[in-house]
Amino acid sequence: MAATISATLLDWYDRHARDLPWRAPPGTRAPEPYRVWLSEVMLQQTTVAAVKPYFAAFTARWPTVEALAAAPEEDVMAAWAGLGYYSRARNLVKCARVVAEMGGFPQSEKALRQLPGLGDYTAAAVAAIAFGRRAVVVDANVERVVARLFAIEEPLPAARKAIRAKTDAITPDERAGDFAQAMMDLGSSICTARDPKCLLCPLAEQCAGRKTDDPARLPVKAPKKAKPLRQGRAWWIEQEGSVWLVRREGTGMLSGMRALPDDGWSARGNGQGGPDGEPLGLVRHGFTHFDLELSVLRHDAPLGEGEWWALDQLDEAGLPTLFAKAARLALA
């Protein structure tokens, strides 16, 4: 059965592979490891549609891992602004510098896993797609396909061990990279989270989940915990066509990014107050582990160490999404 599944899926992929800027078409030379790695880091918890313009901008500005390694971290962080999960950008620079020092990416999954920011998934994806190594690649799409294909009833996250074992069982020795990408494409276009298109699925005959008459309920997910709500303040300080921006300190959330001055809100608690000002409105933003309500106030004097940034060039400041929202509110 495993051989039939992989052969059927690869045949489907040869005819239906998505055309993506970081991919090589089936049957052609593998893409450069740099492009595979960069795309996989960007795609973590982010949609393909959102990643495409960032990938194009990054590869135009830094076409090689050596070019990225030589870039100032603040420039990379600014270019990443809006893509979210900013620790990825910091690890991107760290990893690029290690790889440049090594003279290139290592080819084995084990060695790739030692690089900054590369977990099990990314290491396996780069090993399989860029170097043709047999590796078990399991992202959210693959997780969903396999849970349905084998009707794995155990709820997530406990089911991940069984899902990985089943993925390992059907991963072929040859074309493991194409197989991984085929599974991703199947999950994104056919075996979708809601309303799976079973009549179009090349694996419909082998799918145990389809035989349950309700494949969409798989994988079974544990109930989501309610996220805490944090509250904070930020200040819009404008003079003569410029706004006062600071650079966030430390190693925590949004560290190293340009931002509006704020009151020190964090994932652990609310902000610590600060000077009053003219209320401009409220910005709401969701982070992974908490939601934030940020009150935006107009103030008339600089707060903290920072710089004046021309309003007509604010798009070039690389503000993270939260503070870009606050800026749009103030400018409106």
Domains in the chain: ranges and CATH:
2-217 (1.10.340.30), 229-331 (3.90.79.10)
Max Cα separation, the chain? 70
pLDDT value of position 150: 97
pLDDT value of position 27: 84
Give CA–CA dist 72/70, Å, rounded. 7
pLDDT value of position 273: 85
Give CA–CA dist 116/98, Å, rounded. 8
Give CA–CA dist 127/47, Å, rounded. 22
Nearest to 48 by CA among 21, 75, 13: 21
Could you tell me the pTM of the whole model? Answer: 0.84
pLDDT value of position 34: 98
pLDDT value of position 200: 96
Give CA–CA dist 273/166, Å, rounded. 52
pLDDT value of position 1: 73
Give CA–CA dist 153/209, Å, rounded. 10
pLDDT value of position 279: 96
In the chain, which stretches have pLDDT less than 70?
none
pLDDT value of position 253: 80
Tell me if 109 sits within 8 A of 124, measured CB to CB. Answer: yes
Instruction: Using DSSP bridges, classify how beta strands 306-310 and 229-239 pair: parallel, antiparallel or unpaired.
Output: unpaired
Counts of helices then strands in the chain (DSSP H, E): 12, 6
Give CA–CA dist 6/11, Å, rounded. 9
Which residues are CB-neighbours of 54 under 8 A, at least 6 positions away? 42, 79, 80, 82, 83
What is the tens place of the pLDDT at every residue in 233-258? 999 999 999 999 999 887 778 888 89
Give CA–CA dist 129/30, Å, rounded. 7
Is the preceding peptide bond at 157 cis, omega within 30 degrees of 0?
Answer: yes
pLDDT value of position 218: 96
pLDDT value of position 210: 95
pLDDT value of position 307: 95
- How distant, in Å, are the alpha carbons of 25, 53, 194 from that of 122? 20, 21, 26
Give CA–CA dist 163/151, Å, rounded. 10
Which residues share a beta bridge with 221?
156
Catalytically active residues, by annotation: 40
